[in-house]
DNA sequence: ACTATATCCCGAAACGTTTTGGAAAGTCAA
DNA sequence: TTGACTTTCCAAAACGTTTCGGGATATAGT
């Protein structure tokens, strides 16, 4: 049995392919009786339109692209879990599909982008984890493909994005530790090529300055956004002649590593060394002790981004929007108690 | 500037569309010089083939479909995180894209399947979380679309799947608690419509029987695979006239809920009530106390499934394969210490 | 000089859909 | 009876690619 197509229905009913198409498409220039006959036959054959053909004709794909940064062999960061879920949910309610790509190891990231974007695979893209002079943004800007971004970049902001206010966030967290009586607050910072590292560090230094605390370069160490990196940095920091009494990190995963190292060295997280993370992934609440961190509405942000993207894909030509998220500080036991 | 197509290259180089296509396609019936000229022009124009057109012609999509069960508004279970990552990685290395769909709330699951499968959107599908007489499997079997499954179903196993040996796994865990001296071991079981619930319960009962322990229907409560459900069931169990001394659950998320309830009631997890989970998601290691659980190689399984699927999509007509995973017991502090 | 054989190229059809620009037949108003 | 509308239908083109079946031209073999 041949796959049902417009042609097979056309043959079966005696109407032309055009009429079948228009009947199925709900146009009003087809007789009710005819339409019924065609719909019946379509149902009988189990017809469903061939997406590729339709999209080739319409030059649209009803698909949104998302490329996962190839940080590790397995993207173990729950951040992405939530983010993808948000995007997926937003896409689904808007009637779009989500095309998920992970960078292949043997090809460059830009190739992956080109492959997807190259006329036809997706109607729009979602970007995450912006970098300095992000080549992906330059490329997408150049191709005119609609896209939205979680994060900013340093160049002109002529694109739509949502970003956490990293300056305010890190300042908030640093202040919190200062108010808890800490003087030596270390920062296991995100890798410097990531755009948000800059903002976070700015916030860190601003809080120190505001409270007339000296900036100690020994206490600022950049690492990767992994638990392992957190462990390594903690070792370095705790081996200092004057170790810090509080350690903040680029994300919760790093914070977990820091906590583990502290505990392995026989110290207590909170009472001996306070720890602060970033993201508020689910585990942050469950780990012991609970992790003080900055809450990011990751899921909701994913949804919002898709909403914005869908507007753009539907031809809304309003100027790009820039949305800055206000940080929310979540205080848990890893802060320890207020000091003298 | 028009989008680069075969035609624009053809115009620019003076060769026919056919020749351009064949040059780009690497056929050997085109002069080296010609090929070079065409390749140069293609690069200059930034040509990339239009996927839809190519696929319409080839009747393939180079895309694998995966539909997320719409359990909750946000699929908070890290299980899916890992699984998707595994599938994505497998797909990428095989040169396939991953189309991720979440069920829309206002349409039935089967419609989502039909939409994807309907001639053209995907070349194959990955299924997860099988149910009794799973209609998705019946449907896919009927459409002849290649697919692989994480999990089994009760009917004839005429499809390729990988599954954890749930009987052995739950027996292993139950045995572990029995050996630790527990007599009243409760089971907060997965929802009964899920296929693996059967196997797990079988394993649970088998272990009891093997050690001549009575089966107490009060100690077997089915729930949802969420933390919240774990909390509720724990409350029920702890309010029993004869509460259990150990509680096993359908997945780690439920176990977290159980642990929290135990702690809220002023009891100690492990020493007072032992807890066992299932899946070994990352948090299971970080939570306090660490959670005894059954390790599932989720990521690797995703990859393996894709490998199998790709073989099938490439026309390998060998009979379906059934792979059963051996469980691995991970003992952590939530087991408490051996009892008298 | 004639045939056989490579080598290089191309026109046309096909994949399944949507859309454009009518055509044919019927209805209505004058 | 004629023109103007309506209603219902359709042929053909188009989207960008691959592939089938040759057609030229040059080279080699006799």
* The nucleotide closest to B119 (CA, C1' atoms): C16
Residue B97's pLDDT is what? 87
Mean pLDDT of A123-139: 91
Neighbours of A7 (CB within 10 A): 12
Residue B270's pLDDT is what? 96
Q: Is the CB of B158 under 7 A from strand D?
A: no
* Residues A189/A221, Cβ–Cβ less than 8 Å: yes
> Does the pLDDT value for residue B254 go beyond 80?
yes
> Does the pLDDT value for residue B203 go beyond 60?
yes
Q: Which residue of A has its CA nearest to B118?
A: A48
A231 contacts on B by Cβ (under 8 Å): none
Q: Is the CB of A242 under 7 A from strand D?
A: no
Residue A76's pLDDT is what? 66
Whether B115 and A89 lie within 8 Å, measured CB to CB: no
Mean pLDDT of A205-222: 98
Please give the share of chain B, as a percent, with pLDDT higher than 90: 67
Which region among A75-84, B106-115, B306-315 has the lowest average model confidence (pLDDT)?
A: B106-115
Instruction: Report pLDDT digits (tens) over B207-236.
Output: 999 999 999 999 999 999 998 999 999 999
Which region among A166-170, A303-307, B286-290, B330-334 has the lowest average model confidence (pLDDT)?
A: B286-290
Q: Which of residues 49-88 of A touch strand C (CB under 7 A)?
A: 49-50, 53-54, 56-58
Q: Is the CB of A5 under 7 A from strand C?
A: yes
Q: In Å, what is the CA distance from A249 to each residue of A108, A224, A234, A290?
A: 29, 10, 10, 15
Mean pLDDT of chain B: 90
Distance to chain A for B203, nearest Cα, Å: 29
B63 against B211, higher pLDDT? B211
Mean pLDDT of B14-23: 94
Q: In Å, what is the CA distance from A194 to each residue of A75, A171, A225, B144, B213?
A: 17, 18, 10, 46, 58
Residue B103's pLDDT is what? 65
A214 against A56, higher pLDDT? A214
Q: Which residue is nearest to nucleotide C8 (CA to C1')?
A: B30
Residue B73's pLDDT is what? 43
B48 contacts on A by Cβ (under 8 Å): 114-115, 118-119
Q: Which residue of B has its CA nearest to A76?
A: B82
> Does the pLDDT value for residue B329 go beyond 80?
yes
B55 contacts on A by Cβ (under 8 Å): 52
Local structure of residue A320 (DSSP, 8 states): P
Q: Which residue of B has its CA nearest to A64?
A: B99
A310 against B121, higher pLDDT? A310
Instruction: Report pLDDT digits (tens) over B267-301.
Output: 999 999 999 999 999 889 888 899 999 999 999 99
The Å distance, CA of B14 to C1' of C10, is: 12
Q: Which of residues 20-39 of A touch strand C (CB under 7 A)?
A: 21-22, 24-25, 29
Residue B78's pLDDT is what? 82
DSSP 3-state assignment of A188?
strand
Q: How confident is the model at residue B106 (pLDDT cuts 50, 70, 90)?
A: low
* The nucleotide closest to A9 (CA, C1' atoms): C16
Neighbours of A193 (CB within 10 A): 12
Q: How confident is the model at residue A105 (pLDDT cuts 50, 70, 90)?
A: low
Place of tokens 């190292």: A261
B111 against B71, higher pLDDT? B111
Residue count (chain A) = 340
Which region among A188-202, B42-56, B199-213 has the lowest average model confidence (pLDDT)?
A: B42-56
* The nucleotide closest to B22 (CA, C1' atoms): D18
Contacts of A314 (CB under 8 A, 6+ apart): none
Report the candidate in B290, B295, B200 with the shortest Cα–Cα distance to residue B250.
Answer: B200
Mean pLDDT of A16-22: 95
Residue A74's pLDDT is what? 44
The Å distance, CA of B73 to C1' of C8, is: 60
Instruction: Report pLDDT digits (tens) over A171-211.
Output: 999 999 999 999 999 999 999 999 999 999 999 999 999 99
Residue B323's pLDDT is what? 96
B53 contacts on A by Cβ (under 8 Å): 56, 120
Mean pLDDT of A143-157: 87
> Does the pLDDT value for residue B139 go beyond 90?
no
* Tokens coding A79: 């951040």
Residue A254's pLDDT is what? 96
Residue A103's pLDDT is what? 65
Neighbours of B27 (CB within 10 A): 11
Residue A73's pLDDT is what? 43
Residue A212's pLDDT is what? 97
A247 against B118, higher pLDDT? A247
A104 contacts on B by Cβ (under 8 Å): 92-93
Q: How confident is the model at residue B105 (pLDDT cuts 50, 70, 90)?
A: low
Residue A143's pLDDT is what? 81
Q: How confident is the model at residue B74 (pLDDT cuts 50, 70, 90)?
A: very low
Local structure of residue A269 (DSSP, 8 states): B
Residue B144's pLDDT is what? 83
Whether B56 and A53 lie within 8 Å, measured CB to CB: yes
> Does the pLDDT value for residue B72 go beyond 60?
no
Local structure of residue A326 (DSSP, 8 states): P
Q: In Å, what is the CA distance from A233 to each residue of A224, A240, B33, B262?
A: 10, 11, 56, 35
Domains defined for chain B, CATH in brackets: 6-49 (1.10.260.40), 63-164+298-327 (3.40.50.2300), 166-296+329-335 (3.40.50.2300)
Q: What are phi and psi of B202, to 5 degrees?
A: -55, -45
DSSP 3-state assignment of B256?
helix
Q: Give the angle subtended at the CA of B274 by the CAs of B271 and B276, to the nearest 5°.
A: 150
- Three-state helix/strand/coil letters over A209-226: HHCCCCCCHHHEEECCCC
> Does the pLDDT value for residue B104 go beyond 70?
no
């Amino acid at each position: 049995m041949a796959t049902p197509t417009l042609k097979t229905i056309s043959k079966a009913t005696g109407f032309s392919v055009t009429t079948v198409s228009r009947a199925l498409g709900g146009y009003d220039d087809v007789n009710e009786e005819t339409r019924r006959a065609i719909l019946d036959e379509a149902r009988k054959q189990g017809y469903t339109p061939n997406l590729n053909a339709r999209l080739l004709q319409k030059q649209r794909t009803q698909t949104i692209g998302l490329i996962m940064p190839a940080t590790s062999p397995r993207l173990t960061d729950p951040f992405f879990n939530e983010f993808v879920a948000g995007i997926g949910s937003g896409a689904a309610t808007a009637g779009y599909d989500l095309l998920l790509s992970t960078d292949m190891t043997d090809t460059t990231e830009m190739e992956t982008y080109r492959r997807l974007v190259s006329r036809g695979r997706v109607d729009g893209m979602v970007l995450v984890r912006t970098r300095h002079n992000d080549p992906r943004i330059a490329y997408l800007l150049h191709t005119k493909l609609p896209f939205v971004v979680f994060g900013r970049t340093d160049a002109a902001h002529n694109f739509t994005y949502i970003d956490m206010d990293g300056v305010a966030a890190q300042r908030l967290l640093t202040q919190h530790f200062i108010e808890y009586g800490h003087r030596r607050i270390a920062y296991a910072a995100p890798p410097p090529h990531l755009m948000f590292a800059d903002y976070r560090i700015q916030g860190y230094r601003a809080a120190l300055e505001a409270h007339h605390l000296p900036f100690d370069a020994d206490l600022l160490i950049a690492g990767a956004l992994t638990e392992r990196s957190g462990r390594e940095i903690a070792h370095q920091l705790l081996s200092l002649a004057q170790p810090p009494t509080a350690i903040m990190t680029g994300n919760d995963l790093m914070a977990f590593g820091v906590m583990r190292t502290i505990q392995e060295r026989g110290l207590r997280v909170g009472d001996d060394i306070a720890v602060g993370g970033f993201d508020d992934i689910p585990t942050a609440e469950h780990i012991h002790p609970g992790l003080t961190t900055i809450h990011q509405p990751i899921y909701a942000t994913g949804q919002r981004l898709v909403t914005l993207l869908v507007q753009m894909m539907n031809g809304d030509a309003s100027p790009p929007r820039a949305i800055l998220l206000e940080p929310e500080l979540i205080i848990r036991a890893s802060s320890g108690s207020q000091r003298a």
